[in-house]
Structure 1
Amino acid sequence: MYDQVDCFIILEANLTFQNTPKPLFVQESWSRFEKYHSKMIHHTLSVEGAKFNNTWDREKFSRNAMYDQVVPYLEGPQTPAMGDVILVSDVDEIPRPSTLTSLRNCKFPKKLSLHCDMYYYSFQWRNRGDWAFPQATYYDGNNTVLPGDLRLTADSHLYRAAWHCSYCFSTIGEFVKKLNSFSHTEFNRDHIKDTQRILQHVRYGIDLYDRQKKQYDRIEDNSDVPEFLKENKAKYLFVFDRDPENANFVDL
Structure 2
Amino acid sequence: MGQAHSTTDNDKVPQSDVPRIPHTDLPRIPQSVGPRIFDTVLLNDELEWLEIRMNELDKVVDVFVVIESEQTFQRGYKPLYFQQASREKTFARFMDRVLYIVVPNITEAEEARNLKIGGNGSWAIEAYLRNKGVQMALQTFQPSPGDWVLHSDVDEIPRASALAKIKASSSSPEDENNPLLQTRHAESRKGPVLAQFQLAPAGVDPNSDEPIELDYRDMRVLNKPLWEDWPNVGIRLRGYSYKDNGPNLVEDACWHCSWCFSNISYVYSKAASYAHAEHSAAVYMNNTWIIKHFRQGKDLFDRNEIYNYDGKPINVPKFIVDHPDRFAYLTNRYKVPNAGFLDVPENSVHF
Larger Rg: 2
Match of 1:120 among 178, 191, 194: 194
Q: Which residue of 1 aligns with 2:311?
A: 220
**8 Å contact kept, 2:70–2:104:** no
The aligned residue for residue 102 of structure 1 is 165
Larger strand fraction of residues: 1
RMSD of aligned residue pairs (Cα, Å): 2.4
- Structure 2 CA distance for aligned equivalents of residues 223 and 184 of structure 1: 28
Distance 1:187 1:102, change over 3 A: same
SS at match of 2:111: coil
Cα pair 2:198 2:314 within 8 Å, conserved: no
User: Do residues 233 (structure 1) and 327 (structure 2) align?
Assistant: no
Partner of 1:133: none
Residues 207, 19 of structure 1: CA spacing in aligned structure 2 closer, same or farther, 3 A cutoff?
A: same
Distance (Å, rounded) in 2 between the aligned partners of 1:207 and 1:48: 32
Task: Work out the percentage of aligned pairs sharing the same amino acid.
Answer: 27
**Please, which of 53, 64, 70 is the counterpart of residue 137 of structure 2?**
70
Q: Distance in 1 between matches of 2:329 and 2:294?
A: 10
Question: Paired residue for 1:40?
Answer: 98
* Counterpart contact for 1:86–1:139, Cα < 8 Å: no
Q: Structure 1 residue 149 and structure 2 residue 236: aligned? A: yes
1:92 to partner: Cα distance:
0.5
Taking the aligned partners of 1:200 and 1:36, their CA distance within structure 2 comes to 38
Alpha-carbon deviation of 1:194?
0.5
User: Is 1:250 matched up with 2:314?
Assistant: no
Describe the shift of the 1:191–1:127 C-alpha distance in structure 2 as closer, same or farther (beyond 3 A): same
1:197 aligns with 2:260: no
Please give the secondary structure, in 2, of the residue aligned with 1:181: coil
- C-alpha separation in 2, matches of 1:129 and 1:24: 40
The AA in structure 2 aligned to 1:38 is D
> SS of the counterpart of 1:222?
coil
Query: Which is further off, 222-231 or 44-53?
Result: 44-53
**Conserved in 2, the CA contact under 8 Å of 1:66 and 1:147?**
yes
Structure 1 stretches lacking a partner, 5+ long? 131-135
Task: Give the alignment of 1:176-187 within 5 angstroms.
Answer: 176-187=268-279
1:26 aligns with one of 82, 100, 111: 82
Do 2:74 and 2:274's aligned partners in 1 also have CA atoms closer than 8 Å? yes
Shift of 1:80: 2.0
Question: Using a 3 Å threshold, how does the CA distance of structure 1 residues 221 and 197 change in structure 2: closer, same or farther?
Answer: same
Separation (CA, whole Å) in 1 of partners of 2:137 and 2:181? 20
The separation in 2 between residues aligned to 1:56 and 1:129, in whole angstroms, is 32
The CA deviation at 1:111 is: 5.8
Q: CA deviation at 1:223?
A: 4.0
Q: Give me the TM-score of the superposition, normalised by structure 1.
A: 0.87
Deviations 1:225-245 (A, max 9, x none): 111100011111111110321
Deviation (angstroms), 1:97: 1.4
Match of 1:163 in 2: 255
Shift in Å at residue 98 of structure 1?
Answer: 1.5
Deviation at 1:61, TM superposition (A): 1.6
- Give CA-to-partner distance per residue, 1:144-182, whole Å, 9 cap, x none: 972311312342221111011110001110111111111
Superimposed CA distance per residue, residues 172-207 of structure 1 (whole angstroms, 9 cap, x where no aligned partner): 101111111110111110121111110010011111
Unaligned runs of 5+ in 2: 1-56, 116-120, 174-178, 205-218, 345-351
Question: Normalising by the residue count of structure 2, what TM-score does the alignment of the two structures yield?
Answer: 0.64
Deviations 1:11-70 (A, max 9, x none): 011011000111111112222211110111111112354225421111122122232112
- Structure 1 segments of 4+ aligned residues over 6 angstroms from their partners: 136-141
